[in-house]
Every structure is written in C-alpha cells, then in structure tokens.
Structure 1
C-alpha cells in the first residue's frame, strides 16, 4: 500500500513539474509575442530608427528580396564589363566571412565578387588595423567597412547582444546615414544577435532613447550633431551614454570624412572621439573618395601609427578620382537673361533618350525649390526635389520615388552629393560653380556606378568663367554641341514657360515667393564665393539682380536691413533695403 502511495506522489510531482514548465513556456512565448508586437509598433512610429528585424508578410518580404536581388545582379553584370571595378576574389569562397554574412551577400544581395576596395581592406580591417581608404565613388566603400565590422563583432568573446554598442559609424548627412543603416541591416539579416540603429537630427531624441532602452544596437549609425546631443545629455538606466556606454565602443568608422570636414564637423569629431576609448584601444577606419589637406590633424588624433592606407585611385596618385566611365564636359551660359531657357534646353537634351535618370545639382536649396515648381509643367516625367528645406519625410519620399522611377529628373542641393546610391543615373548636371573641386567630384559620382557609363555636364554662369582653373587636371572638355544648343534656345520660350513667367509678373504667391527666396540665396551663395570668382560685392549684386530678372522677377527684391548688415552690403549700389 505504501509503495502505491509513493508512486502516486511521484507521478503527481512529475505532473506538477510538467504543468509548471508548460506555464512558464506559455508565459515566455506570450512575452516574446508582446515584445515583437511592441518592437514592430516602435519601428512604425519611429521615423529616425531603422530596426534590423521588421515583421512583414512573407509574400511582401520575398517579393522585395527578389526585386532587390534582380537589381543587384543586373548591376553586378554591368560591373563585370569594367575590369578595374571587380576583383577575382569571391565572397562565397572567402573563409574570413561568417556563413550568415555570406548568405546575405550572395543569396539575398546577389553579390559574387569583391570590389577592389573591399578586397584590399578586408584582411587588415579584420586584423584590427586602423584604415585610411580612398576609392572612387560607386565602388563599394560601404561594404568595405561593414563586412569587417560585423565579423569583428561576431569574433568578440565578450560581446553580449543588447548590452553594448560595438561599432559607431559617423555619416555627414541623414540620407547617407539611412542608406548605410539599410545596407547594414541587409548584411546582418541572418545574424539574430547583431542589430542596427540609425539616428540623426530633426527627430525627437526620445525616440532614440526608447530604442536604446529596448536594446542597445550592435552597430550605431549617426550624424555628428545628434550623436553629440546624446553623448552630453542621455542616461540609460543609471549609465551615462557618453561616459559609460560609448566609452566601451572599440570600432569607429568615419564615412565620407572629407564631407564631414567640409561641413565644419572637425570640432564635433574631436569631441566625439574624446568619449571613445583612446586610439590605442580601438579600431578607426576613415573612408572617402578624396583626401583633403585638413585631414592630417584628424589622422594624427584618431589613427594609430601603424595604420594601413588603401588607395584605389591610381595606386597612390593624387590625380583625378573621377570615374573613367563618365564623359565630362562643361559649358558657359551665353548670357544671364536666358537662364531658364538654357536650363530647359539642357534638360531637354539630357532626357531625349529613354530611359533616363538625370540628377541636377544647384548651388542652393531655395533655387532647387523654385526650379522644381517652375519646371514641372515643362516635362512629362516626374521632376523631383531633394534639399535641406524639405522635411525628412518628404526627402525620403523623393529619394525613394527617384530610385524606383524608370525615367525622372531629380533637382537637388549638395545633400545628395555624397555616398547616396541612386541606381541607373544616366547624367549628372551641375548648374553653377560647386563649393569645391571635391564637391564637383562627389556630385559626379552619382552616375556611372557599378560599372555603368554616364555623362557629366557642368554649366557655369558667365561671371564664373574665371574659376575654370579649378578644373585643371580633370578630364573635362568644352561642350561645343551644348553651347550651340544654348545659343539657339536663348531667343525662344515655350508656351508653358511664358505662362509661368506671366504668373510671376502678376504676383502669383507661390512662384513669386519661391523666386524671391531663390534670388536671396543666390546672392548669399556668391558673396561667399567672391574670391573664387574674383568679383567684388558690387559686381555680385549686379549679377544677382540680372539673375532675379532672368527667373521672372520684375526687379531684384528688397532685402531686410538686418540681412543687409549680415551680408556686409551697406552702401552697395543696387541693394534695396526693407525695414524689418
């Protein structure tokens, strides 16, 4: 009898344990589903964060993956036509790359061979060496630092997912940061223990903090301003973001370093680096298409003495880093008064053969906005605008629409000049003198990417002709065909343009306000370029007044007195002052 009672007791205990395990498993599964649900909602409501995992319907996932793979395979095939772009080193055969990374690269993204900068970088980067890499635009620089960064995270025996930020990537603009984040997410798609977060200014810091509180990302992609805000102010569960969390980050990448310096981020970079481990305790990688003179100080402060230099531009030569597959030419406008007619004629020629994707760079955001509004009536294809005055949502929509379009025109400021990859761009047109030689090179890099051919045209105003010496050493010639076209178009105005000019002269609110802002920004930009164009303030005011009339304004608008003072235009003839 006792032995029967003991058996019943054992069975009852076993049943209780079993039921307890089932209950725990059920609660854990519910918590997992709830967390997944909250993560999904957080992603949908957080415009500045790019989580790696997004619960999409399988059909949508497979369709997007197939479309992306087809595009990349097409570009890979194009790249094979350029023997200088791809190497004979295969991703699939590389023993240094984790199988999950290979799966993403080969199966998901359709990449087969490494580009030159990727092949030259991977061994030194995986060994933890500091890198200074210089390569032409469109040659795979982003994966050149992402692949070794992910591999080093996976090899780190002390890495605990969600507890530390292993890799920091600094980008000069939101658009580039987003693009890097998307590529990092693609590369880590099969690494369940590696996550990616992107953050940049123009969004609420609370959104970034909510994501940090859920899980610290393995890879953080950020713009300098927003990152500094968190380094100074943010605390997470009693830990200071700057002094405690980022002090453990031992991989840092500065992408488009020359652009970071151009935008005046040198001091911000120095402050950011001061929060990270000292250079002997971290790996630093600098990537760009050009190496400006101002980089020396950053190199001394950030790179160890045994850094590895990877030069994929003429094997160390500092000659032109423009892509050999871009045919470059320039022209000078016959006169200021025909600016709109000349712009329309140049775009008409660039869009004469289907399919086409044309990127037009202009000196200022206000000029981009005005021309996009004015020119939309002249083309049957979409005329899109991308610049700093648009909201982040509008900028992302414009970028995506241009990427997906078969034929389109994108008017943009320098916000699109660096690193951003728009597929199948047939021509880059630069109207007005770029801020620098490096800016010209990076703008040109939006075409002829992944082995395809492209065209580049620089259109200069008459008063900019003295700055042609800056083009010395570039393979750029005068375009006689375009000059003839501009001379012929100067005296003819299409009907739609006459109608828009009539709206302007009659005071149409939107067009008139846009033209006035375009004039002010034009004046301000060229006052800043006075030394380069070898012109006095009086001359620049005269040029700008001619420009105002060329875009349909009856006369140059009045300028608020405070702005006149800031521009240093007091006493300059032709400046009309408006009381504030």
Structure 2
C-alpha cells in the first residue's frame, strides 16, 4: 500500500464560525451531565436552541439529561452542521463524542433514502472500550429515531461471523468499529459494498490510532472507502495534532472544504505542568514493596479527593505486568480492578464501568486498554516502570486533576530507568526518596511470599513481557542484547522469586532478535 500523500494544510476555524445561536438561559440544570469531567467545560448555549431534529433534542433532554453544550460542542457543532469536514483538537471528557455523533445523526436524518443494506455512517476508534462507549452514546441519541436509524459496534476478540450476519441481515445506519476488525470485514468478508453509500466518516482519538500502530490499517480502510470521498463528510477528533495525524486527516478529507478547530489551546494543553507530581527511583527488587507504600498513602486520609473518596489508577508497561501485579496485590489482600488486553471483552467492560462509576477503588491497567477512557474523580495516577516517552507520561497523568479537582501523580522507576527523568526535566516533578529500610524490611517478606503463591503461568508470561518490553528500548537504555537478558534474569530472581529464568520458545526468542544470546533458556 502506498504511503499517504502530504496535502496542503486545512483552513482554520474558531468558535465564531457561522451557525452558533446566541446564548440562551438554560431551561434545566446545566450540570446535568453524565461525565463529571465535562461539567467544567459547559456554556450557556442550549441544545434546544440548535437547528436539529426534534427527536434528537428529545433524546438529549430526556435520555441523556443534557441541557447545554460543552465548550467543545459549541466550537465544533456549528461548523460540522454546516457540512464542512472538520479536524478537531479536543481532549477526552469534554463532550467531544456528541460533537461528532450529533451532526452525523442529523446528516442521516436528512439524507435521501439509501439502497437497501447500506451503512451510511462509520466511526473508527482505537480500542474496544472506547468503541463501546461511542456506540452507547449513539444508541442514546438514536432512541427516538428507531427503528429507522440504528447502530452497531464491531471489534476484535469476538466472533467475526456474528458481525457479518448482523451487517448482512440487519445492517445499521451507523457502525462503530476498531481498525483491525473493520479491515477484516472489508477485505476478508466482502463487506466493502455495504459502505459505498457512506455519508459520514468519523475518527476518534486519531493520535492514539496512529500511536498504537494502526496506520497500515487506516491506509487500507481509506483505500477501500475512496469511492465515497466526494460524497461523505469526514470528522477527525484528536487530543494532539502531530504531523502524521494531519497527514491522515488531509488524505481523508475533501480538499478546500476542511476546517481545523483547536478546542484545547495552549493554556489548557499545559495543564500537566500544574499537576502535583513526584518520582521515586528504587532498586528493582524493592519496587513492589515501594508500590505498596505508595498505595497506602494514596488511599489514606491525605490521598482522598473533595468527596472524601479515592480513585487510584496504576499504569504498568505491559498487559502481562499489569496482570502480575494485580494478582500479587490481590494475594496481599488488596481489592484490585484489573484492566488490560489479556482480559476478555466482557471482563474489560465490567471493569471500566465499575471504575468509572464507583469510588474508593484501585485499577491496575496497561496503557493500551485505557486509551480514550474518561474516568471521573481519579485522585492519583501511579506509573510503574519507564513510560515509552514523555507524551505517554503526560497522557497518563492527564487522567487526574480534571475539571479543577485535586489530584496528583507519582512515577516509580527502577534505578536503571532513572535516565528517563531527563526527558521530563521541564515538568515540576519532586523527587522523593524510597521508603526507609526498616519499612522495607516489614513489607518485602510479605511481597515475596505472595509472589511465590502466584500461578507459574503468570510468572512465565511476566518474564517474557518484561524481556520484550526492555528489548525494545536498548538504544535508550544503552544496553546490548546480553545486558537486556541479564536484566530480565535479575527480574526473574529478584522480583518473581524464581530459582531460574522461565524457558522461552525458540520462535519467541527469534522474533525478539535474541537468538544465541547467553542466559536464555530455550524450551
């Protein structure tokens, strides 16, 4: 597949773009929002004042309980409702989903009849959880448009034959999809003709789509949808606008009819610079014990939020390490919500709902499964291990201290990862020493005993994931292949408490480029 071409930059629009009605005093509680995060971003512009379908207005008021637009919606809806393609810079938790779903539904309402079986609108998101969230909001907005207009969601990890059956027998007007499953449907199951009357294409969390390696999938999807380019409206929402996002956006949108709307601004974009942040560098062997101490502090009286409750989100470098530590802390007597790609979709959905809607909770998560999720009232974000880059550190940190509420972050690094702090030198991070040796002496034996009680499979998978993660950062760490194997074996002994490193399949070792490196045990 050819590389996406670089096209001229889009024009820029601001909130003053036509179509926005003058502010009207709200007729109902302006704080009636499902997301606490969104409450800090409300305007006085009512949904009732918009020129949209009465049935859509009814759903917004009666089903969703919304009275007024968020600032992001006030900036984007007028431009999108005019029919322009839009590239919007917008954060999670600001009402952006309605910003692209509402005008899309209006476009469906007003469109002439399509051939039987046609899918008219398509939303693409990076994760199953976010896709499910988008579909949930779409269903709410479509409440009074059914059965004429319906929606459906497709993503990997489920039976593709079930998706094919739905799209064939009862095709929805609006489909929400993750890139991998959508590509499978387009190229392997003959679904491309279903999309030839597409009138709306939406990308949510576009920067995450590319960060997660979906560019080849997006290239193929856009190639399959190329015949619809002239007739469809394309909407792309992203928290950041790196060059590769703009390149994809410009390839997907109509030249001369695309507007760029920045709803973030420099001041809001730099919010992470004001969140209280700490970092601790400790030995690898005592890292788990240090995390125990940090969680004790985060769940104590000094760690709770304004509502007297805590909600702690802990990020790990890989899914298998999130699993390891979740099982470890459960064995230590903690109540942990486990969220990572190794969990089934129903398990992940339940975990996300529980953490989003509850309080006094701790979630251990890999980074990928948390993309785009809006969890209100997070009081602390802990990051265990070296983030992939500064952007990932900031993205994770941004899940706390939202909507003017209190919150903070703590980065826990092993001693060999300390160099990463240079990448964060412009952030106000306070260095905190590890806990006292006496405290470690109390906690560490309990950690080791709990670790030895875990299933061998959990330990084996954690070792392989640890080796794979750090093998990807040899240049940054200034390691060679022998060193990364030695470090992984140290992890096996000091953290996993294993007498010898777990055996790896020859195929796995080959994929890592570690064939022939001393210290590995080949199964």
Same fold (TM over 0.5): yes
1:554 to 499, 507, 512: 499
Query: In the TM superposition, what are the counterparts of 1:375-524 in structure 2 within 5 Å?
Result: 375-380=329-334, 382-449=335-402, 452-473=405-426, 475-480=427-432, 483-485=433-435, 489-493=439-443, 496-501=446-451, 504=452, 508=453, 510-524=454-468
**Contact 2:324–2:462 (CA under 8 A) maintained in structure 1:** yes
1:281 to 227, 231, 246: 231
1:568 to 490, 506, 513: 513
2:263 to 308, 312, 321: 312
Paired with 1:348 and 1:172, the residues of 2 have a C-alpha distance of: 33
Cα-to-partner distance string for 1:414-440 (whole Å, 9 max, x where unaligned): 233321223332222111122233333
Rg bigger for which structure? 1
**Contact 2:197–2:228 (CA under 8 A) maintained in structure 1:** no
1:335 to 280, 283, 297: 283
Cα-to-partner distance string for 1:191-212 (whole Å, 9 max, x where unaligned): 2222110011121222112222
Q: 1:330 to 1:486 in 2, by over 3 A?
A: farther
**Contact 1:138–1:450 (CA under 8 A) maintained in structure 2:** no
**Contact 1:341–1:492 (CA under 8 A) maintained in structure 2:** no
Matched, 1:188 2:142: yes
Matched, 1:577 2:505: no
Shift of 1:398: 2.2
Shift of 1:288: 1.2
Could you tell which deviates more after superposition, 444-453 or 521-530?
444-453
Paired with 1:204 and 1:79, the residues of 2 have a C-alpha distance of: 35
Cα-to-partner distance string for 1:216-248 (whole Å, 9 max, x where unaligned): 21110011111112212435xxxxx21x22111
User: Could you say which residue in structure 1 is the equivalent of 2:304?
Assistant: none
Shift of 1:180: 0.8
Gaps spanning 5+ residues in structure 1: where? Answer: 1-68, 236-240
Matched, 1:121 2:76: yes
Cα-to-partner distance string for 1:384-420 (whole Å, 9 max, x where unaligned): 2111112222222322332343222111112333212
Cα-to-partner distance string for 1:413-468 (whole Å, 9 max, x where unaligned): 12333212233322221111222333333323333445544322222222122222
1:73 to 19, 22, 32: 32
Could you tell which deviates more after superposition, 559-568 or 212-221?
559-568
Paired with 1:511 and 1:159, the residues of 2 have a C-alpha distance of: 55
SS of the aligned residue for 1:287 comes to: strand
**Contact 1:90–1:112 (CA under 8 A) maintained in structure 2:** yes
Shift of 1:369: 1.2
**Contact 2:92–2:373 (CA under 8 A) maintained in structure 1:** no
Shift of 1:341: 0.3
2:125 to 131, 154, 171: 171
User: Could you say which residue in structure 2 is the equivalent of 1:4?
Assistant: none
Shift of 1:92: 2.7
Cα-to-partner distance string for 1:70-94 (whole Å, 9 max, x where unaligned): 99737677755x4xx222322232x
Paired with 1:453 and 1:335, the residues of 2 have a C-alpha distance of: 30
SS of the aligned residue for 2:242 comes to: coil
SS of the aligned residue for 1:333 comes to: strand
**Contact 1:167–1:249 (CA under 8 A) maintained in structure 2:** yes
Query: In the TM superposition, what are the counterparts of 1:21-40 in structure 2 within 5 Å?
Result: none
Cα-to-partner distance string for 1:501-557 (whole Å, 9 max, x where unaligned): 4xx1xxx5x433312321221111011022233333333233323322123223433
Cα-to-partner distance string for 1:42-84 (whole Å, 9 max, x where unaligned): xxxxxxxxxxxxxxxxxxxxxxxxxxx999737677755x4xx
Paired with 1:172 and 1:403, the residues of 2 have a C-alpha distance of: 19
Shift of 1:151: 1.3
Normalising by structure 2, report the TM-score. Answer: 0.85
**Contact 1:86–1:114 (CA under 8 A) maintained in structure 2:** yes
SS of the aligned residue for 1:532 comes to: helix
Could you tell which deviates more after superposition, 513-522 or 358-367?
513-522
**Contact 2:35–2:376 (CA under 8 A) maintained in structure 1:** no
Aligned length: 486
Matched, 1:92 2:45: no
Matched, 1:131 2:131: no
Normalising by structure 1, report the TM-score. Answer: 0.77
Cα-to-partner distance string for 1:257-291 (whole Å, 9 max, x where unaligned): 11111222112112111222343322111111112
RMSD between aligned residues: 2.8
Structure holding more helix per residue: 1
Gaps spanning 5+ residues in structure 2: where? Answer: 1-27, 302-307
